[in-house]
Amino acid sequence: MLINCVAYENGHKLADIAITQISEYLNRPGCFVWVSMRDADDAELAEMKSEFNLHELAVEDASHGHQRPKIEEYGDSLFVVMHMIEFAPDDSMQIGEMCIFVGHNYLLSVRNRTRLNFLGVRARSERMPHLLKHGSGFVLYALMDAIVDQYFPLVQEFETRLEIIEGQIFGAKNAARSNIEDLYSLKQEIMQLRHAVAPLLDAVSKLAGGRPPKPCDGMQEYFRDVYDHLTRINTSIESIRETITTAIQVNLAMVAIEEGEVNKRLAAWAGIFAVATAFAGIWGMNFQHMPELQWRYGYPAALSAIAAICFVLYRRFKKAGWL
């Protein structure tokens, strides 16, 4: 579905144009066309391919979707894929895609499977004609910067969730299984963000280098800013991953400690009852020549002896911290 199709010249908006007028404006010197689409079907992509002379492999990737983040060069044009990650109303992660076709005088963006929009990017760009006059290179930077900036709130959300789980490890009892499940779920989500960020590091560094692709010429310092943001996000992701691994190990250690405490209690009580059982077994054999059997106070004396020994053992185990 077509969202916007606008022609610009020297950083200023000329007009909203129809798709059939794209070729006319592309032939005008100093003019470039910025087209935005959402969930475009094959017919719409085929029409864009004809108007912009897009490479068939790039169009095929955009049509199939589910591509890894990447920046590919096709002659003097670029094909960029970025992931857009957001939380759905049920707090699950939803991953969409932004496919961007960039030429020296055009930019076509196609976003799929996402509720996010970039109308604000267009409005901000139009308020900066001194930068918008750089054409498609600046628009590519503006879109990439907007997508990367949306990763920062995700990192903060993950850090907050991790802090809550870490507090539960030492606070809540009998929650080991729940904590481990939450940690693994968080690790899976942070890995999805990592898959969106890590592949772009090398690709964006080329745009910020000394010999960028032709559409990005003169915009190196701006793409360097995007690269810096990606580096910061990737560093935060690695830090969260390490903390999650440590938290899992600590949680397992806490489980082992709790199991050890339970085992000590069981061993202590087993030792106490073993002594009582041993005495009861000896005095319960009923041999004919057992003097205690004929003693008037034998039964209460036996019970008293068993109770006294069990009490002494209980005090010793209590002092040792086993009970």
Q: How far apart (Å, rounded) are the C-alpha atoms in residues 168 and 178?
A: 10
Q: DSSP secondary-structure letter at 260?
A: H
Q: How far apart are CA 42 and CA 52, in angstroms?
A: 15
Q: How many CA atoms are closer than 13 Å to the CA of 86, on its beta-carbon side?
A: 13
Question: pLDDT, tens digit, for every residue of 80-94?
Answer: 999 999 888 777 888
The CATH number covering residue 115 comes to 3.30.460.20
For residue 241, how far is the Cα from the chain centroid? 9
Domain annotation covers residue 223: no
Whole-angstrom distance, CA of residue 242 vs CA of residue 234: 12
Judge whether residue 99 has pLDDT over 90: yes
Q: Does the pLDDT at position 245 exceed 70?
A: yes
Span 126-136, average pLDDT = 91
Q: Could you list the residue range(s) of the whole structural domain that residue 285 is in?
A: 259-320
Query: Is 212 part of any domain?
Result: no
Domain boundary among 125, 157, 181: 125
The pLDDT score that the predictor gives to residue 259 is 79
Q: What is the mean pLDDT of residues 95-102?
A: 94
The structure tokens listed for 204 are 């964006």
Confidence (pLDDT) at 110: 94
The band of 172, judged by pLDDT with boundaries at 50, 70 and 90, is low
Give the pLDDT band (50/70/90) at residue 221: very high
pLDDT recorded at residue 33: 94
Say what percent of the chain tops pLDDT 70.
96
CATH of the domain at 291: 1.20.58.340
The region of weakest confidence among 64-68, 153-157, 166-170, 194-198 is: 166-170
